[in-house]
């Protein structure tokens, strides 16, 4: 099973993200993320054997998930030879960084080896993007927007009928994690 832990978004936030994606789509071509696949990755686990699923659940349950507000205020790209990866960036947020660090510590305690890259919270809009012109980042984003989150989700990534599909396998919300932890939000 190919797994990752992410923040998923409500319909209103997804609509704001899709508006940015549509402005990008009008400027060129690429492999655009499907609306139901939009997320912010907290931890990429990769291929995981089914017998390790319980360890992931324990790590998530021991992670303090407190309600927090995310603000998306930038767009950008990761240059790639076959076309760039375009994203929407999240403004600096110490609570989100602490959540990701705590989740990583809990997963490590369960024996998972995570990437050592610096956490860079973003939502991938599209991959293999080739644009006709260089966009104005502010115009592409439009107005910054915010959303409240209080749940983290374990997601399964698989190809179904040739389409990349992400399916929630397990989630932990603020109220559930607060009862499991000694440290309240």
Q: Which two tokens stand for residue 177?
A: 């994690």
Report, as residue numbers or ranges, the catalytic residues.
39, 122
Phi-psi region of 2 (alpha: psi -120 to 50; beta: other; left: phi over 0): beta
- Distance separating alpha carbons of residues 76 and 98, to the nearest angstrom: 23
Burial (Cβ within 10 Å: 0-12, 13-18, ≥19) of residue 94: exposed
Token readout for 8 is 């998923």
């Amino acid at each position: 099973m190919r797994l990752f832990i992410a923040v998923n978004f409500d319909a209103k936030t997804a609509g704001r993200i899709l508006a940015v994606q549509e402005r990008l789509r009008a400027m060129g071509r690429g492999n655009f993320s499907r609306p139901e696949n939009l997320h912010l990755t907290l931890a990429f686990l990769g291929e995981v054997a089914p017998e390790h699923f319980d360890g992931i659940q324990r790590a998530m349950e021991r992670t303090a998930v407190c309600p927090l507000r995310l603000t998306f205020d930038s767009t950008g790209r990761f240059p790639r030879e076959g076309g760039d990866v375009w994203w929407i960036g999240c403004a600096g947020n110490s609570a989100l960084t602490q959540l990701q660090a705590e989740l990583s510590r809990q997963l490590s305690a369960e024996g998972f080896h995570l990437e050592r890259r610096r956490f860079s919270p973003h939502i991938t809009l599209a991959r293999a993007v080739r644009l006709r012109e260089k966009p104005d980042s502010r115009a592409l984003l439009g107005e910054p927007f915010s959303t409240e989150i209080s749940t983290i989700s374990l997601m399964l990534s698989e190809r179904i009928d040739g389409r990349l599909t992400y399916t929630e396998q397990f989630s932990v919300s603020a109220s559930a994690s607060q009862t499991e932890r000694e440290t309240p939000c």
